[in-house]
A and B are shown apart, each in its own frame.
Chain A
Amino acid sequence: MSNFFSKAEVTSSGRPVLLHNEVECHLLSAVDLEPEDHRHFSLLKSGLLILTTHRLIWLPSSSASTPTSASAIPLAAISHIFSSKKSLKSVFHSPRIRFQVLVSSDGRVFDPSSGSGSSSGSGSRSVVVTAVIRGKGDCDGFLVKFWDSWRARAWETTKISSSGSGSASGSGAATGIGGGLYSSDGSVRMVGVAGILRKEQEMWESTDKSLQDAFQDLNALMSKAKEMVMLAEKMRQKLLSGTSSQTSGTNDEDMGSKEEMQDWLLSVGIISPVTKESAGALYHQQLSRQLADFVRIPLERAGGMINLIDAYCLFNRARGTELISPDDMLQACSLWEKFDVPVMLRKFDSGVMVIQNKSHSDEEVFARIKSLVTKPEALRTGISPTDAAMTLGIAPAMAKEHLLTAESKGLLCRDISPDGFRFYINLFPEIDPCNMYLVKVPWKLLF
C-alpha cells in the first residue's frame, strides 16, 4: 500500500530535515496516524509526531515492525482542525486529534510545495485524518499549539526572522526563535549582534579579496612600467651620443627627429639632457614665448614689476591643466635674454626675483623715490615701503626692493626703530665731519 502522506526527509541520525525557517513546536510520542480511507493507504503506527511551524512530521520509532519512512503533512494542506470532543467514550479511549486534509487527484495528501497548482485548486476533496495518541504526552497542549501554528501560516512569510521575542510564549511563534545560529540548510543566520558582527566580517573579507585582486593588476602594470623606463633611458642615451658625434653635418631631418624625441621625453616628464647645449628644447622655447605674452597684462596691472612667484601662480592658474613646474618657469624666463621679448628676469640683492619690463629703468624709479622722500613730511619722518608702494603703484614687497636698491646706491638711508623700518633721504654726504656745526643743510627747518 502506498503512503498517504508526503515523504519527509530525515538525516542519517533520524532527525527530520527542517525547511527554511521551520521550527519545531511540540512532540507527541506513540502516535498513530490514520487516514480516513485506510483501505488504500497504510496506517502509520506508533511513531513520533512532531509539530513544526510548517508541517506535521511523523517519524517511525525504532521499534516499529514495519519499516516505514518518515512522513509529513504540510500545515498548508490542512483545511480544518476539529476541536476535541469530550465525551464519555473519550475517557476510555486514547485521545484523538482529528483534522481535515486536502487531497490531490491521486488521493494522497496535497503537497503545496510540489508546485502543482494553487492550494485551493487541485486539492478540492478533503479527507479526515485521525492522530491517535497512545503515549503519555500533553494532548491538549499539543492541540492548542497545533491550532496556533496552523493559524500563523508561517510557510507564507518569506522574510528572515530576526531575534524575535525570546521567551517561549507558548504560542509556537511563527517567527523562528528556536534553532540557534544555524538555519535548516546549514548556513549561518544573521541574528542579533552576532549577526551584525558576522556581516561586517564578511564585508571585510570580500573587500580584502578585491584589493588583492587589484594589486595583482598593479604589479603587472609596474613590471611594464619598468620596461618603459628602461626604454626611455635607452633613448636618452642615444640622444646624448647623437649630439657628441656631430662630425658629419647634422641634416635637418636628424635635428627634427631629435627635437621630436626631446619633446616626447619632456612630455612624459623626463628632462632632455641636451637642453643646455642647444638653444633649449622646443618645448621650453614655446613656453618661454607663451609666458612673455601672458605676463604682459599682469605686469601692467602690477605697475611694471611683478614677483616671479606671483607670476608663476597666475600663469599656472590660467593654464588650468598641464601645469608647469617651478623649474620650467625659471628655464622659460632665462630664455628671454636670447629672444627679443619686452620682458626680463631680474634678481635683487636680497634674492627676490622679479619679472619686469625691459623698458623699466631704475633711474626713473629713483627719481620718483627722490621726489617722494624730499617732500616736507618725508624729510621729517621718512617713508615706509607702504608709502612708496602707493606712490609707485606697485606691491609693497616690490617697493621695498626698490627702496633697498636706492639705499645701496646712496640715495637713501634707513631708520630702524620700534615704529618700524623707514627710509630717509641720505644727508650724510652733506655733513662735514671737520665742521660739524656748519649748517649746509637747512637742518633747523627740518629738525
Chain B
Amino acid sequence: MEEEYGRKWDRCLADSAVKIATGLGVGIVLSVTLFKRRTWPVAFSAGMGLGMAYSNCQQDFRSPYLLHGHMVKDQ
C-alpha cells in the first residue's frame, strides 16, 4: 500500500510532466503558428497542462479505490 502512494506520485508526476510538456509544446506551436510568437500561449498551454496534471493528480489521490488498469498488447 505504501508503494501505491509512491506509484501514485510517480504517475502524477509523469502525467504532469507529460501534460506540462505537451502544453508547452502546444503552446509553443500555437505561439509560433497562431499567436505570432507571443509567450502567453506557451505559458497558457503549459499552465493548462499543469492544471490538468494537478487536477488529474488530485483526482487520482482522491479516489484511492480506483484501480488503474494496464493495457496488455498481444504480441
Q: Please indicate whether A and B come from the same complex rather than being unrelated chains.
A: no
Interface residues of B (CB under 8 A from A): none
Interface residues of A (CB under 8 A from B): none
